[in-house]
Structure 1
């Protein structure tokens, strides 16, 4: 079985911007993984292992999102998840709009219908820029606030589709488009 997830793919012009951010941040943040710019996305639902017959069922269920209207989001800004001294994830922010939350809930319901557990945590949309802290030392208290001032610019991102991705852990880029679902 392969691992899959459902996401909004970051468009090329924003991939370039966030890739530039990553290059500037690598000097200050010792992370093990810096995703390839073509792998940048906003996760809607991580599935993990999916049997082939379930993938086909999921493809059918996800067609429901095609009834939704395309929309815009503001993306940008920097933040972290995890221990503030050694954060496990460094991310670019994503505006949490009603339309995005509705889209995420529909995707969650589609996954639930084919047997996946509903995510209990609150949905916190973001674009992962780096993960897996590898530094021996901790961040100073001033580092993140300083970077938040530097990387505060927001960009508008048009969301016209969502993607079912297959993960290839040993490749770069590591995410393969399996199916794309266009919004209205």
Structure 2
């Protein structure tokens, strides 16, 4: 099964996420449903179902106090002129949380992340952006780059199963770790 470790964005931010996504309605992007928007802390990839209890037990060893995150600003990967992903910025103690998760799962030999961890929540995937719309897109990005989304308490991480379907992914929480 496809699995990952995530921090969910709270329901209180879903309305603001919808507002932002509506601003991009002129573009044919693949939007993430607001109730599925999350911060991926570690993508595990395909894991045998039999290893889920051991992964869950390992995640129980994560030591990180709960913290508050300021969700603010819009950005893209890899860069504005060649955007593939539109994301929300998230600050807070995510680096420590990431290190703790990475250390807790080190014995499983999951593939190492090639880039530096950057806490973000994906809003949309850009499959195609016509040249004639690129300027409008870049202007909108510039307008929203410092947009205020809100605050959230980060007090748990979740091990999730991801089932890909033609209508989009279905996420199921397999295990939750309350931060203390």
| 2:31 and 2:124 in contact (8 A); partners too | yes
Residue 68 (structure 1) aligned with residue 67 (structure 2): no
Q: How many aligned positions are there?
A: 176
Listed one character per residue, the Cα deviations across residues 94-113 of structure 1 (whole Å, up to 9, x for unaligned) are 11x3x221111111122221
Deviation at 1:38, TM superposition (A): 1.5
1:96-135 superposed matches below 5 A: 97=92, 99-135=93-129
Distance across 2 between alignment mates of 1:100 and 1:40 = 16
Q: Kindly indicate whether residue 177 of structure 2 is the aligned counterpart of residue 181 of structure 1.
A: yes
Kindly state the Cα deviation for residue 83 of structure 1 after the two structures are TM-superposed. 4.1
Q: Is the Cα–Cα contact under 8 Å of residues 76 and 94 in structure 1 kept in the other structure?
A: yes
- 1:50 positional shift: 0.4
Extract unaligned runs of 5+ from structure 2: none
In the TM superposition, residue 86 of structure 1 has moved relative to its aligned partner by 3.4
Structure 2 residue matching 1:85: 3-state secondary structure:
helix
Q: Retained in 2: the 8 A contact 1:4–1:50?
A: yes
- Name the residue aligned to 2:3: 4
State the Cα deviation string for residues 42-98 of structure 1 (Å, max 9, x = none): 110011100122222111100012x42111010021111124223000111111x3x
- Which residue of the partner structure matches residue 159 of structure 1? 154
Structure 2 CA distance, aligned partners of 1:71 and 1:126? 16
**Could you tell me which residue of structure 2 aligns to residue 13 of structure 1?**
12
Q: RMSD of the alignment, in Å?
A: 1.8
Determine if the alignment matches structure 1 residue 90 to structure 2 residue 86. Answer: yes
1:142 is paired with a residue whose SS is helix
Any runs of at least 4 consecutive aligned residues in structure 1 with deviations exceeding 4 A, and if so which? none
CA distance in 2, matches of 1:102, 1:36: 28
Shift of 1:118: 2.6
Whether the 8 Å contact between 1:112 and 1:118 is mirrored in structure 2 is no
12-21 or 170-179: which moved more? 170-179
With normalisation by structure 1, the TM-score equals 0.87
User: Structure 1: 5+ residue runs without aligned partners?
Assistant: none
Is the contact between residue 36 and residue 173 of structure 1 (CA under 8 Å) also seen in structure 2? no
1: CA distance between counterparts of 2:149 and 2:37? Answer: 16
Structure 2: distance between partners of 1:5 and 1:132 = 22
Measure how far apart 1:144 and its partner are: 2.0
Paired residue secondary structure (2:23):
helix
